[in-house]
Amino acid sequence: MAVYTKDGKHYAFPMGAQQGSTFTLYANDMLFLDDPHVLYKHWPPEVWDAIGKHEVRPGMNELQADCAVGLGLLEGSGSGQERVLHYPNGGTPLTVTFRNGKAVEIKKG
């Protein structure tokens, strides 16, 4: 967990996960050393609009969805052309199905 204080409030978020003796660090996928608007300046305005509104929209890729609503938890092995991720989304959970790297189905709850 990363823990920090901003404007007198305390915040925390997970930076990795452990399964058995395997530890996966997600911090590299979550924290940017440079402004993401510069890093991903090739993303169209519609994507940045969705990210700003904390929405996942059809056609977004997993990184764009992660930027919008936080990291998702992969269902199953994730191998193949279809991946299903569950996003806690600050208490408003989403389940997103990605096919060939693009969001094709977005379900609330």
Contacts of the segment 10-15: beta carbons below 8 A, 24+ positions apart? 13/70, 14/71
Of 83, 90, 92, 38, which is closest to residue 60 (Cα–Cα)? 83
Kindly indicate the confidence band of residue 28, based on its pLDDT and cuts at 50, 70 and 90: low
Assessment of whether the complete model's pTM goes beyond 0.85: no
CATH architecture of residue range(s) 32-108: 2-Layer Sandwich (3.30)
pLDDT higher at 49 or 13: 49
Mean pLDDT of 81-85: 93
